[in-house]
Amino acid sequence: MKKISDSTISRLSTYYRTLSNLIDQGIETVSSDEIAEINNITSAQVRKDLSFFGSFGKRGLGYNTKALREEIAKILGLKKEWNIALVGVGNIGRALIDYEEFRKQGFIIKALFDKDRKKIGKEIKGLRINDIDDACYVTKEKNIEIAIIAVPAKNAQAVVDSLVACGIRAFLNFAPITIKVPSNVTVKNENMSIELEALSYYLTQSN
Amino acid sequence: MKKISDSTISRLSTYYRTLSNLIDQGIETVSSDEIAEINNITSAQVRKDLSFFGSFGKRGLGYNTKALREEIAKILGLKKEWNIALVGVGNIGRALIDYEEFRKQGFIIKALFDKDRKKIGKEIKGLRINDIDDACYVTKEKNIEIAIIAVPAKNAQAVVDSLVACGIRAFLNFAPITIKVPSNVTVKNENMSIELEALSYYLTQSN
DNA sequence: AATTGTGAACCTCTTCACAGCT
DNA sequence: AGCTGTGAAGAGGTTCACAATT
């Protein structure tokens, strides 16, 4: 399959959310122009993004909201639940356990890991905190497919290395560091300081 | 000033972090090639990014780590502390209050807001939770420059609208929705579900 | 009449490659 | 000799504009 850009994929996610909202409002049909307007982009962009995957609209009419959301769900792989491991039960980690948005989209945290002896064995929301050294056993048992890395920067690479060795191929990394992985493994970064620093830059510019 | 791309700005943030790590290791000189290697990019990219702002290296030698970090700090506006308001004291919000990384970079949370009567008046880490309706008074008193939006999607636009009316011009938005703002206001999004959905897409593709 | 789907044009970002400096 | 700084080339992403369809 042809290579689709990261931007297209992340815009599909926003279309998915837009469609969900429209469906909640009882709206059955929507044009690329309306989807674009809601998301501050152009209608050509919306149509082009969708065109990589098929023809989902009707000329003159637009798109059926439910049908289009269904198509995007298929594209993004949201028709199944994904089993997630959360590594690092600190502030960020604990917030993510309670993050409704993940569960709503079918991302279910099924395993917790930490390396702090004081935490291991305890439970949060019915989930036992496991020793990261037991990662391979637990991830296999629980069928984990994606790991969220919420450990300090200095430990992040080692944690990912060992999970890659267990066969995990997708990571959401909250540590402020670039993680190295083999080419068949995907890492997405969630680096909150970077965005704040961009704001700092723009504010500094405009003064 | 010429328009610098978002990607360049966010890479500058990563160079800043890379340089901090090198300095901690006592390394005094670094080449664009080494910075690139650490961050999985090309050395031409590193040099081009820096070239938009000046000439900070010595041909044949590379860059002085401390001097370059200083330059990047100036560019990104990190030579001062930024006063931040956090709106929405839920799971995510509370995690951010304790997030050391922000404080370390000079982003100091100085005001908390919520609209839940049960929370207003209480304190977290010595910070009083204020009524979002008092936003203008409090943001002015505390000299707030950036707001972090950690409220449910359905309230996010209204919260931002009222803070824009108070004069806030920079937002870090955690709500999974596109916020509309005037052109002199900047919004950066931190949408964790989007990144997970991208992982879901890549895993789905490769199976 | 309205709106999609898409090749072509356009624009922006990245990489190349080398002159210039240390 | 080694590495930066940068114009030019190349790649990739976005927008235009219009034929096709309902």
Q: pLDDT of B158-182, one tens digit each?
A: 999 999 999 999 999 999 999 999 9
Domain ranges of chain A: 6-75, 82-194
Nucleotides in chain D with any atom closer than 7 Å to protein CB: 1-7, 12-17, 20-22
The span from the CA of A169 to the CA of A164, in Å, is 6
- Whether B1 has a pLDDT exceeding 80, the answer reads no
Q: CB within 8 A of A126, min separation 6: which ones?
A: none
Q: Which residue is nearest to nucleotide C3 (CA to C1')?
A: A60
Distance from CA of B182 to the nearest CA of A (A): 12
CA–C1' span, A164 to D6, in Å?
A: 40
Which strand (E) or helix (H) includes residue A74? helix A65-76
Q: What is the pLDDT of residue A206?
A: 84
Q: Which residues of B156-190 are buried (b: 16+ CB within 10 A; e: fewer)?
A: bbebbeebbeeebbbbbbbbbbbbebeeebbbbbb
Q: Is the dihedral of CA A154, B172, A89, A9 positive or negative?
A: negative
Average pLDDT of B121-132?
A: 97
The residue of chain B with its CA nearest to that of A105 is B193
Burial of residue A30 (CB within 10 Å: 0-12, 13-18, 19+) is buried
Name the amino acid, one letter, at A88. G
- Tens of pLDDT along chain A (207 residues)? 679 999 999 999 999 999 999 999 999 999 999 999 999 999 999 999 999 999 999 999 999 999 999 999 999 999 999 999 999 999 999 999 999 999 999 999 999 999 999 999 999 999 999 999 999 999 999 999 999 999 999 999 999 999 999 999 999 999 999 999 999 999 999 999 999 999 999 999 987
Using CB atoms, pick whichever of B12, B170, B180 lies closest to residue A203: B170
The residue of chain B with its CA nearest to that of A199 is B170
Q: Is the CB of B180 under 7 A from strand C?
A: no
Bridge partners of B169?
none
Q: Is the CB of A6 under 7 A from strand C?
A: no
Torsion of CA B1, B5, B8, B14, to 10 degrees: 110
Instruction: With CB atoms and an 8 Å threshold, state whether B10 touches A198.
Output: yes
Q: Which nucleotide is nearest to B57 (CA to C1')?
A: D4
Q: What are phi and psi of A186, to 5 degrees?
A: -110, 135
CA–C1' span, A66 to D5, in Å?
A: 53
Q: What CA–CA distances, in Å, run from A150 to A157, B21, B203? A: 11, 19, 21
Q: Is the CB of A57 under 7 A from strand C?
A: yes
CATH topology of domain A6-75: Arc Repressor Mutant, subunit A (1.10.10)
Q: Which residues of B37-47 are buried (b: 16+ CB within 10 A; e: fewer)?
A: bbbebeeebbb
User: Which pLDDT band, with edges at 50, 70 and 90, does B2 fall under?
Assistant: confident
Q: What CA–CA distances, in Å, run from B61 to A109, B42, B52, B58? A: 48, 18, 20, 5
Q: What is the pLDDT of residue A2?
A: 74
- Percent of chain B predicted with pLDDT > 90: 98
Burial of residue A203 (CB within 10 Å: 0-12, 13-18, 19+) is middle
Name the amino acid, one letter, at B68. L
Bridge partners of B146?
B84
Q: Which nucleotide is nearest to A34 (CA to C1')?
A: C3
Assign A6 to helix, strand or coil.
Answer: helix
DSSP string, B1-67: -PPPPHHHHHHHHHHHHHHHHHHHTT--EE-HHHHHHHTTS-HHHHHHHHHTT---SBTTTBEEHHH
Q: What is the pLDDT of residue B189?
A: 97
The span from the CA of B54 to the CA of B1, in Å, is 13
Average pLDDT of B99-110?
A: 95
The span from the CA of B97 to the CA of B110, in Å, is 10
B contacts of A206 (beta carbons < 8 Å): 169, 184
Write down the CATH number for the domain with range B82-194.
Answer: 3.40.50.720
Q: Which residue is nearest to nucleotide D20 (CA to C1')?
A: A59
The residue of chain A with its CA nearest to that of B154 is A21
Which residues does nucleic strand D approach, with CB less than 7 A? A 3, 5-8, 41-42, 44-45, 47-48, 58-61; B 31-33, 43-44, 47-48, 50-51, 55-63
Assign B90 to helix, strand or coil.
Answer: coil
Q: CB within 8 A of A158, min separation 6: which ones?
A: none
Strands B107-114 and A107-114: unpaired
The span from the CA of B8 to the CA of A181, in Å, is 23
